Structure 1
Amino acid sequence: MNLPALTQAFVLHFGEMGSRWGINRTVGQVYALLYLAPEPLHADAIVEALGVSRSNVSMALRELQAWNLVSVRHVPGDRRDHFVTPDDVWQILRTLAEERKRREVDPTLTVLRELLLQPATSDAERHAQRRIAAMHNMIEQLTGWFEEVKRLPNERLVALLALGAGVTRLLELKDRVVGLAVSGRSA
């Protein structure tokens, strides 16, 4: 690799993590390089920086574009395509979450719905459908929550995450207030 030490360490780590995230090493490395790049990079610059083949870089760029994590940026006076990642890390997180939901969660929900519509013909199938319904309901609730959270402005999302375990304390306080209101006592 033809990179400064800090950049190389980041790029190598993303390459290693790629396989754990379900992508190949080169895709992870290309993304990491583009994320750290101060200006848009063309494919030949990526090939030179990473020391990988042009075909691997091309495939990685196509995959990253399919995930909406990399976009083409045209540079005046240069006919080559240049590539960039979003600057906003929260937008990157939203994009990753949305793409994973679209590719993994939505098809699962479709299958669960179809299975729930089938008639159960035995006690074992009724038991299975109850379990499937529980999973379906949980995933639906999570996706509903995700839809709300992804619309939050960055500042509100940061504040929500900063609450951490404080969310539990807020829910306990709400329960006490609701309990007092129901019993007719005041807080």
Structure 2
Amino acid sequence: MTEITVKTDRLPPAIERFVIAWGEMGEVWGVNRSVSQIHALLYISGQPLSAEEIADRLKLARSNVSTSLRELLSWSLIRRVSVLGERRDFYEAEADVFEMVRRIAANRKAREIDPAVAALRQCLAAAETDPNVPGATCQRFREMLDVTQAVSKSFDEVIDLPTPILAKLIKMGAAVVRLAGLTSTRRTKRSAKPPT
């Protein structure tokens, strides 16, 4: 008896659930749903896909796929690859989850934190030279800039950690805080017993 394989464009349920969930999470993070779904499909597929295949599998317009692929390429989350015997472009996602997270974090920092630091520096510089701006306002600008710069520096340090160290750090979780001798003020306040 000969085995016949019927090719279907329908995604297996587990992959479909992942693609839908990744698209919804992307929207929460401010990323277009189609961009997130295409990224999810390429990440989970394990093989390069053409824009046409992506459009067929996700039931998206070809123009939407092209725009989304350009955005994913700009984030360095996917790459264009050649397939022997094919003239079309194919795409594959970064398979290393730590590298993927690192690239997302670096891009988010560049698009969100770095402009905030630049804006706060400009506001502080303008406020310090304007006699109509109260000293307390300058101090608030200074404090916000200090915190934002500290977050930016910490972000850079974490992003630059080698993957094995980053993986260990993530697995350690709250143990890192305890090891450093630090405690969360929120947790301390919640767990503090009322005075007797």
**TM-score normalised over the length of structure 2:** 0.82
Asked whether 1:11 is paired with 2:9, we answer no
Which runs of structure 2 are paired with 1:111-130 in the superposition (5 Å)?
111-118=119-126, 119-122=129-132, 125-130=134-139
Following TM superposition, where does structure 1 have runs of at least 4 consecutive aligned residues deviating by more than 6 angstroms? none
Query: How many Å apart are 1:152 and its aligned residue?
Result: 1.4
Specify the alignment match of 1:133 in structure 2.
Answer: 142
SS in 1 for 2:181: helix
Give, as a single letter, the amino acid of the residue that structure 1 aligns with 2:131.
Answer: T
Q: 1:75, 1:142 → 2: CA distance? A: 42
Structure 1 gaps of 5+ residues are 174-187
For residues 68 and 54 of structure 2, what CA distance do their matches in structure 1 show? 11
Alignment partner of 2:157 out of 148, 163, 168: 148
The offset of 1:53, in angstroms, is 0.9
CA contact (8 A) 1:120 1:126 kept: no
Distance 1:120 1:44, change over 3 A: same
Distance in 1, Cα, partners of 2:120 & 2:98:
30
What's 1:53 paired with?
Answer: 61
| Secondary structure at the counterpart of residue 83 of structure 1 | strand
Unaligned segments of structure 2, at least 5 residues: 1-8, 183-196
**How many aligned residue pairs are there?**
172
Structure 1 residue 65 corresponds to structure 2 residue 73:
yes
Aligned to 1:164: 173
After superposition, give the CA deviation of every residue in 1:56-104 in whole Å (9 maximum; x if it has no partner): 1111111111222111011111111111111111111110111011111
TM-score of the aligned structures, taking structure 1 as reference length: 0.86
Q: Is the 8 A contact 2:114 2:152 kept in 1?
A: no
Task: Give % identity.
Answer: 39
1:172 is paired with a residue whose SS is: coil
Query: Amino acid of the residue matched to residue 121 of structure 1?
Result: P
Query: 1:172, CA displacement in angstroms?
Result: 2.0
